[in-house]
Structure 1
Amino acid sequence: MTTSNYATERETTEGKVFTVTGGDWDEVVSGTDPINDERIVVNMGPQHPSTHGVLRLVLELEGETVREARSVVGYLHTGIEKNLEYRNWVQGSTFVTRMDYLSPLFNETAYALAVEKLLGITDDITERATTIRVLMMELNRVSSHLVWLATTAMELGAINMMLYGFREREYVLDIFETITGLRMNHAYVRPGGVAQDVPDDAIRKIRDFLQLMPKRLKEYENLLSGQPIWLERTQHVAVLDVTACMALGVTGPVLRSAGLAWDLRKTMPYCGYETYEFDVPTHTDGDVWGRYLVRVAEIRESLKLIEQALGRLKPGPVMVSDKKIAWPAQLAIGVDGMGNSLEHVAKIMGQSMESLIHHFKLVTEGFRVPPGQVYVGIESPRGELGVHAVSDGGTRPYRVHYREPSFVNLQALPAMAEGGLIADVIAGGASLDPVMGGCDR
Structure 2
Amino acid sequence: MTDLTAETDEGAQEIKPRAETSPAVEALEQGAVLRGVAHEDVDVEVTDGETMIINMGPQHPSTHGVLRLMLELDGETVLRCKPVIGYLHTGMEKQGEDLTYLQGPTNVTRMDYASPLNNELVFSMAVEALLEIEVPERAVWIRMLMSELQRMASHLLFLATNGMDLGAISMMIYGFRDRESVLAFFEKVTGLRMNHNYIRPGGVAADLPDGWRDDVLKMCDYLPSRLDEYDELLTGQPIWRERTQGIGVITTEQALALSATGPILRSTGFPWDLRRTMPYLRYDQLEFDVVVGSYGDTFDRYAIRLNEVRESMRIVRQIVDRMPAGDYRVQDKKVTPPPRARIDESMEALIHHFKIFTEGFKVPEGEVYVAIESPRGELGCYLVSDGSARPHRLHIRAPSFVNLQTLPHLMRGGLVADGVAIISSVDPIMGEVDR
The TM-score with structure 1 as length reference comes to: 0.87
Q: Does 1:381 align with 2:375?
A: yes
Aligned equivalent of 1:372: 366
Instruction: Report the RMSD for the aligned CA atoms in angstroms.
Output: 1.6
Counterpart residue type for residue 168 of structure 1: D
Q: 1:157-211: per-residue Cα shift (whole Å, max 9, x none)?
A: 1000000000000000000000000000001000000000011233221110000
Residues 85-234 of structure 1 correspond to what in structure 2 (within 5 A)? 85-121=97-133, 124-234=134-244
**Do the aligned partners of 2:65 and 2:429 also contact (CA within 8 Å) in 1?**
no
Secondary structure of residue in 1 paired with 2:395: strand
Structure whose CA Rg is larger: 1
Residues 19-418 of structure 1 correspond to what in structure 2 (within 5 A)? 38-121=50-133, 124-327=134-337, 330-332=338-340, 344-349=342-347, 351=348, 357-418=351-412
Q: Which moved more, 1:308-317 or 1:212-221?
A: 308-317
TM-aligned CA deviation for residue 347 of structure 1: 2.0
Distance in 1 (alpha carbons) for counterparts of 2:241 and 2:262: 22
Long gaps (5+) in structure 1: 1-30, 333-342
TM-aligned CA deviation for residue 345 of structure 1: 3.7
**Do the aligned partners of 1:178 and 1:201 also contact (CA within 8 Å) in 2?**
no
Secondary structure of residue in 1 paired with 2:336: helix
Distance in 2 (alpha carbons) for counterparts of 1:249 and 1:87: 30
Q: 1:343-379: per-residue Cα shift (whole Å, max 9, x none)?
A: 5444232x4xxx6654432231111100000000000
**Do the aligned partners of 1:37 and 1:62 also contact (CA within 8 Å) in 2?**
no
Distance in 1 (alpha carbons) for counterparts of 2:45 and 2:368: 58
Q: 1:239-270: per-residue Cα shift (whole Å, max 9, x none)?
A: 01111100100000110010100000011110
Tell me how many residue pairs correspond in the alignment: 392
Secondary structure of residue in 2 paired with 1:413: helix
Secondary structure of residue in 1 paired with 2:294: coil
Percent identity at matched positions? 55
Distance in 1 (alpha carbons) for counterparts of 2:357 and 2:159: 42
Distance 1:119 1:228, change over 3 A: same
Give runs of ≥4 in structure 1 deviating > 4 Å: 31-34, 355-359
Aligned equivalent of 1:19: none
Secondary structure of residue in 2 paired with 1:324: coil
Distance in 1 (alpha carbons) for counterparts of 2:73 and 2:228: 39
Residues 1-20 of structure 1 correspond to what in structure 2 (within 5 A)? none
Secondary structure of residue in 1 paired with 2:118: helix
TM-aligned CA deviation for residue 66 of structure 1: 0.6
Distance in 1 (alpha carbons) for counterparts of 2:344 and 2:406: 58
Distance in 1 (alpha carbons) for counterparts of 2:295 and 2:426: 15
Secondary structure of residue in 1 paired with 2:192: coil
Secondary structure of residue in 2 paired with 1:269: coil
Counterpart residue type for residue 398 of structure 1: H
Distance in 2 (alpha carbons) for counterparts of 1:362 and 1:212: 43
Aligned equivalent of 2:30: none
Secondary structure of residue in 2 paired with 1:82: helix
Distance in 1 (alpha carbons) for counterparts of 2:45 and 2:152: 51
Q: Which moved more, 1:176-185 or 1:196-205?
A: 196-205
**Do the aligned partners of 1:145 and 1:381 also contact (CA within 8 Å) in 2?**
yes
Q: Which moved more, 1:305-314 or 1:370-379?
A: 305-314
Distance in 2 (alpha carbons) for counterparts of 1:265 and 1:63: 44
Q: 1:41-88: per-residue Cα shift (whole Å, max 9, x none)?
A: 111000110002300000011110111100001111111111111111
The TM-score with structure 2 as length reference comes to: 0.88
Counterpart residue type for residue 120 of structure 2: E
**Do the aligned partners of 2:67 and 2:87 also contact (CA within 8 Å) in 1?**
yes
